[in-house]
């Protein structure tokens, strides 16, 4: 079985703020890490490999720094890594990201199963997975919280719905996006780190893709555009209370009584 996992590098400390006076973004700490949800996607693949002879490949679209998370994936036990990188992919929205990834995936080893994380901590849309599936013309199941069975023909999963759990049997190839609760990710292994330190990471650029129309990628391939960014505002009237704990607690109790909450 060939499994492809989509992983993304995200800011380590994701606190970006905006300076209200200058309108500048302030970012503290520009260190980055693997999207935590994608660790669960990798672990899901590794668990499948324990049961069923498999080869696991990861793909990430991003700048060259994203090589770091592919190396990390190697330390977890992933077999092959691909970095999809090109300046032509810059400024991609969900559609252009998913399209580029689907094109990149087609340059990789043939897949039976694609696994995505539930969402990224920076993009936070949970949409890239389903869009990749559409571009590859394969079925997908989102919010998978358990894999009940997998064989060369199909995968049976539990899909988490608000009030129910649906058990779906899907023919391969297909794509799933997994919930955090599906498994507990392992830690990177030092032994694997040494063993894989020389392992190649394949780079895929725009020129390698089947679609050679640059307007389908990056900013040009993005139907949505950011017009403006601004700090959040609030127009609610508000009052601030100060004092010692005793005064404040009492004042709060009185206010709640006055408002008939107690």
Partner 1 sequence: MAYIKINQDNIKDKNKAIKICPFSAIEEKNGLINITSGCKMCKICVKQMPDIYSFIEGKQSKINKDDWKGITVYVDHVEGDIHPVTYELIGKAKEMAKKINHPVYCLFSGNNIKHKAEEILKYGVDEVFVYDNEELEDFRIEPYTAVFEDFINNVQPTIILVGGTTVGRSLAPRVAARFKTGLTADCTILDVRENTDLDQIRPAFGGNIMAHIHTPNHRPQFATVRYKIFDAPEKLQKINGKITECKIDVEKLKSNIEVLEIKKKEKVKSIEEAEVIVVAGNGIKKETDLKMIHQLADKLGGMVATTRPLIEAGWTEAKDQIGLSGRTVKPKLIITCGVSGSIQFVAGMNSSDVIFAINNDPKAQIFDVANYGIVGDLYEVIPELLKKM
Ligand X SMILES: Cc1cc2nc3c(=O)[nH]c(=O)nc-3n(C[C@H](O)[C@H](O)[C@H](O)COP(=O)(O)OP(=O)(O)OC[C@H]3O[C@@H](n4cnc5c(N)ncnc54)[C@H](O)[C@@H]3O)c2cc1C
Q: Which residues bind ligand X (CB under 6 A)?
A: 14, 121, 124
With CB cut-offs between 5 and 8 Å by kind, which of ligand X, ligand AMP, partner 1, none does residue 189 bind? none
* Site for partner 1 contains 230 (CB under 8 A): yes
Query: Helix (H, G, I), strand (E, B), or coil: what is residue 22?
Result: coil
Is residue 225 exposed (0-12), middle (13-18) or buried (19+ Cβ within 10 Å)?
exposed
The 63-92 contact track toward partner 1, x by CB under 8 A, reads x-x-------------------xxxxxxx-
* Site for ligand AMP contains 34 (CB under 6 A): no
State which of residues 1, 2, 3, 8 lies at the interface with ligand AMP (CB under 6 A): 8
* Tally of residues, the chain: 262
The 79-118 contact track toward ligand AMP, x by CB under 6 A, reads ------------------x---x--------------xx-
Query: Cα–Cα distance between 237 and 37 in angstroms, integer?
Result: 38
* Site for partner 1 contains 189 (CB under 8 A): no
Angle formed by the axes of helices 94-107 and 128-136, to 10°? 50
CA 221 vs CA 94, 98, 116, 151, 241: distances in Å: 10, 11, 22, 37, 51
Is 132 within 8 Å of 116 (Cβ atoms)? yes
User: Interaction with partner 1 in 131-150: which residues (CB under 8 A)?
Assistant: 131, 133-135, 139-143
Q: Which residues bind ligand AMP (CB under 6 A)?
A: 6-8, 35, 37-38, 41, 59-62, 97, 101, 116-117, 119-120, 123-129
């Amino acid at each position: 079985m060939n499994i492809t996992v989509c992983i993304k590098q995200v800011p380590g400390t994701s606190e970006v703020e905006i300076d209200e006076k200058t309108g500048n973004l302030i970012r503290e700490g520009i260190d980055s890490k693997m999207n935590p949800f994608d660790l669960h996607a990798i672990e899901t693949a590794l668990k499948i490999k324990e049961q069923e002879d498999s080869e696991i490949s990861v793909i990430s679209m991003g700048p060259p720094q994203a090589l770091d998370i592919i190396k990390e994936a190697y330390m977890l036990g992933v077999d092959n890594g691909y970095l999809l990188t090109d300046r032509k992919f810059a400024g991609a929205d969900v559609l252009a990201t998913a399209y580029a990834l689907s094109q990149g995936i087609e340059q990789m080893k043939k897949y039976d199963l694609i696994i995505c994380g539930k969402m990224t901590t920076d993009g936070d849309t949970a949409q890239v997975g389903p869009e990749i599936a559409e571009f590859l013309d394969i079925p997908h199941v989102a919010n998978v919280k358990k894999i009940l069975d997998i064989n060369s023909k199909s995968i049976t999963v539990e899909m988490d719905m608000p009030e129910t759990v649906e058990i779906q049997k899907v023919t391969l190839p297909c794509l799933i996006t997994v919930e955090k609760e599906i498994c507990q990710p392992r830690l990177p292994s030092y032994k694997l780190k040494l063993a894989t330190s020389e392992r190649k990471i394949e780079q895929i650029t725009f020129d390698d893709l089947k679609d050679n129309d640059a307007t389908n990628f990056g900013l040009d391939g993005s139907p949505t555009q950011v017009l403006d960014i601004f700090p959040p505002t609030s127009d609610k009237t508000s009052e601030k209370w100060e004092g010692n704990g005793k005064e404040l607690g009492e004042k709060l109790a009185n206010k709640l009584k006055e408002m008939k909450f107690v």
